[in-house]
Structure 1
Amino acid sequence: MSHPGFSAAMLHPRNWPMWAGLGLLWLVIQLPYPTILAIGRLLGRAMYHVMPERRHIAETNLQLCFPEWSADRRQQLLRQNFESNGIALFEMAMAWWWPRKRLARLAHVEGLEHLQQAAAAGRGVVLMSMHFTTLEIGAALLGQKATIDGMYREHANAAFDFVQRRGRERHNADAMAVEREDVRSMLKSMRSGRAIWYAPDQDYGRKASVFVPLFGVQAATVTATSTFARLGKALVIPFTQTRLPDAQGYRLIIHPPLEDFPTGDETADALRINQWVEQAILQQPEQYMWVHRRFKTRPEGEARPYPKRRRRKRRPR
């Protein structure tokens, strides 16, 4: 899949606020790593107060998933989660712009042999990830150790899309960013023995999904994980990353491949994926992206748990 490169049109005045914001991010990440984390936490605390819609979504998700927890415990987790989201903004910038050697010092990688064994056997891999706040930096750190093709959603702003794609592809010259809708390229990649990053833990709508429980709540869950594994003749290898305390860096774990997967039963496979996701989240609930509308698609007759989104009025051209 080819992408357009940089063009002078990206310097149009309408993009100046974006370039200024990116420049500020670049300046902040020149600071020592512990200082970056501290600034990220402060930003997250501010986001908690100025983003009421996202805060409400996260509150709703925590209430649905952990009804047995006390309100105080959920509130504490919510605040920690916003701090983690604030840090994630700077981790994204670190992943895109830090020198490779500086970035590599933060990585503590376990289970790399699972990817190496799959590559030696010529087997493609669905690297099953999840939407933790450390997603961007985790993918960058792993990309320094192994060739991983990434699932990619084109950004509406061509200038930001250029920066994002360039940042994600720089850690491995052989890596490719594959558009999320480009199933043919994904399957071709896996059939040629490559690994491709894929996260099945969001609500992508009713199409190609089945309803199976996630933390006891019926959740529209994509069946693509088992479909990709079957059509791509690939192993499904889970991958998690964790931001370690006290500025120690990041623990990356490539877990053993799922055994006897896929089974041919898409509903059973989707349930197994959700059970795996549950266990991964419980290891670090404060670092999961609770601000997403995970339960927006409901079974027939069941109301959505989130308020309607406020649509911005378009300015006349």
Structure 2
Amino acid sequence: MQPPVFTRALLAPRYWPAWFGVAVWFLLAQLPYRIQFYLPHLLIPYLKRNKKRLNQAQTNLRLCFPELSDKEREDLLYETLYSTAMAIFETGIAWFWPKWRLRRLFSISGVEHVEAALKDGQGALLLSMHFTTLDIGSAMLGLYVNYDGMYRPHRNKVYDYMQKVRREAYAPGGTAFSRDNVRGMISRLRQGRMIWYAPDRDLGEKISVFVPFFGVQTATVTATAQFARLGRAKIIPFTQKRLPNGKGYELIIHPPFENYPTGDEYEDALRVSKFMEDEIRKIPGQYFWAQPRFKTRPEGEPRLY
């Protein structure tokens, strides 16, 4: 696997604003964590200007939490916006903090589940989801688990380079795969590697089945079971939680799925969806709701966004 390569083309004047942004990001990351914990409140008015994302978050919360009052959903929306803004600072921490400093910020449990798989020589999909703490959780995981990851290439070449470089630094020896590199993922799983994987995106009906997610029929990819079967791999979920009042994080590696996959696409997708829903319900304000999760609809149903 070739490491990401820095080229002189990235120094072209059109990329100077992006490099300036990286420098500012680095400097902000050096602030004490307690200060960074409260700064996101200042960014919420700017996030609200993105009407498309705001509408997606509001629609998703309305669909997924119909039992809440308007005031309760408005409070949950604010918490979601705070978490989205905090993700900017948490990504800076994940990218730029030394490992000794990051280690002081969290506790971890369940490492024995990964160790057992490694002892058996078996690879695993480290099942995650798009909490706003995605990057910092992945960096924390990398201090204890050597794994490969998946990422979506970015149009901005500087950001794409930084994203790949820093994410590969989370776990020494790890590789950040483009999400369409299916063959590479299966090969690494068969070699006994751990691979970070988050299937909670709407990727269209062709590679999905509709299963309930918060009571809404949702296009859910069938690839999780396919990767487990073709890669002869376990499914080991992990989640992370931001603690209140700037007290850090908890990272939990859950027991592996038993009797998975079953060979039934619907039941296998439903099991993943049910796990994700259960975990999101514990900390709904930390999930990234500003995405078109319900964009693909079953035949005959109207668009939701």
Determine if the TM-score, normalized by the shorter chain, exceeds 0.5.
Answer: yes
Taking the aligned partners of 2:258 and 2:215, their CA distance within structure 1 comes to: 24
Aligned residue in 1 for 2:201 = 202
Aligned pair count? 305
Q: Give the letter for the 1:92 counterpart.
A: T
Q: What's the secondary structure of 1:53's corresponding residue?
A: helix
Q: Secondary structure at the match of 2:220?
A: strand
Listed as ranges, the matches of 1:285-304 within 5 Å are 285-304=284-303
Task: Look up the match of 1:311.
Answer: none
- Indicate the residue corresponding to 1:251 in structure 2: 250
Deviations 1:90-145 (A, max 9, x none): 11111111111111111210100000110011011011101000000000110111
Q: Secondary structure at the match of 1:256?
A: coil
2:94 corresponds in structure 1 to 95
**Does the CA contact (< 8 Å) of 1:96 and 1:168 recur in 2?**
yes
**C-alpha offsets along residues 149-169 of structure 1, whole Å, 9 cap, x if unaligned?**
101222222222111111111
Cα-Cα RMSD: 1.1
Amino acid at match of 1:303: P
Tell me the residue number matched to 1:232.
Answer: 231
Which residue is 1:31 aligned to?
31
Report deviation, 1:271: 0.9
- Post-superposition offset of 1:203: 0.6
Task: Tell me the alpha carbon deviations over residues 5-43 of structure 1, each in whole angstroms, 9 at most, x when there is no partner.
Answer: 111111111111111111111111111101011112321
How far has the Cα of 1:3 moved from its partner? 5.0
Distance in 2, matches of 1:201 and 1:30, equals 32
- Equivalent residue for 1:315? none
Kept in 2, the 8 Å contact 1:47–1:82? The answer is no
Post-superposition CA distance 1:170-196 (Å, at most 9, x none): 132211111111111101111111110
Map residues 1-317 of structure 1 onto 2, 5 A cutoff.
Answer: 1-2=1-2, 4-43=4-43, 45-306=44-305
Question: 1:4–1:133: structure 2 CA closer, same or farther, 3 Å change rule?
Answer: closer
- Separation (CA, whole Å) in 2 of partners of 1:84 and 1:158: 26
- Indicate if the aligned counterparts of 2:138 and 2:170 stay in contact, CA closer than 8 A: no
List runs of 5+ in structure 2 lacking aligned partners: none
- Fraction of identical pairs, as percent: 51
Q: Deviations over 1:249-305 (max 9, x none)?
A: 111000000111101101011111111111000010000000010000011121211
Distance 2:77 2:141 in 1: 28
Cα distance between partner residues in 1 of 2:177 and 2:47? 33
